[in-house]
A and B are shown apart, each in its own frame.
Chain A
């Protein structure tokens, strides 16, 4: 059983900096959970606390049901892949892979077997005699993963392991990771700031900001049912458009314009709609958002139109070939089922939008 649990974990640093604020999180056995968020959100802190490289100010951390707060990193039966790989520069790849097993007094024959198996799996068997300094970035990354895999631990901790790779390699390794996890479904916690990585890799995503969880869910949950404006704007590229608006008597007003009738309560709101859920019309009509084109970015498969609705900047995804001169007045039609309403002050999504069907 390798369930991981954070119970009310807080980490405060000298000087008052609150890196984690009462984190409550459970990772199921065999699950691949992604911690995603901007830098400073607490995701790396959570990982380090789990690894034992740092101590929580308060709260409990459990691995496999056992409280590990007092255990040294080496006693927690976890393995970690570091962002900069942290390979032992003076040891060969073989010895790097074997190090953890040797520390646990594993018999030499067993060590050899496991090292070679893992090296085969990651296609680095030919590099066993080389030193890290003689390897390419991609090879080093695989050795770092191998070092974690060979230990066969209860849980894998990965700290932005792909961020030092170039784009092409990153895509490739992402696929490798997914395949690997399907083969060896070990509980894994993966930290990244890249939302594309987060959405493609994880069983579940945990979006964090300011030391707190903003939302946990599948990619579908996070993307289509964001819990607040932060999640809505953070996930998705380009991000969701957030426009200040007001609902009066059941009707959405953006600035002076009456847009459409909406089933949500009275008052000021933040109106959210994704670029791909806005249709561009060359002429404004009732029910649309009036906008003025700022500039157009062709991307081959589609075009991104950046326009101004009152003073708010809105990005719209339009079919390939669309073109407007800057300054042109256009109309933007939101899909009724894809409109989101967030509380203007707290940013939380409004509960009553449940009534809108998807």
Chain B
């Protein structure tokens, strides 16, 4: 449920309020607004853009993700699993000689170990990305925001959650209005 943008009526009930959303048209203005929101000291806020906006991570002060470490670990696991699988099946559980070749030799086992490395790492990259992002999350208050509909199209949004300790409906609303947005919307839970 969304409130009208022009309506400043406070729902008075903090639990009912998710936060505020402001939308912007131009990247330059948007990035400037983002730095201002960051410098105002909010912690539970976010930006929503139709594509990856370069420089936005720095503007928001987002730290680098730990995803590469997860993927590296998964790749190592895959490699180990690949080698262990070949060693166990062909050298331990059912050893059989093929044209006098060694029962277990690394060169012959590289392709499968390599493919397993890639497979594990790639799956962990997607699953890890989704897990770190808390996706899939099919139900979220922002999905009912009217302005958010354009965040996958052509508008750039800033959302500030009411749960943020610095959030005060009137003051935060004024802050967002002062940044020159197209519109500001109150989003309820």
**Is A bound to B?**
no
The residues of B with any CB-CB pair to A shorter than 8 Å are none
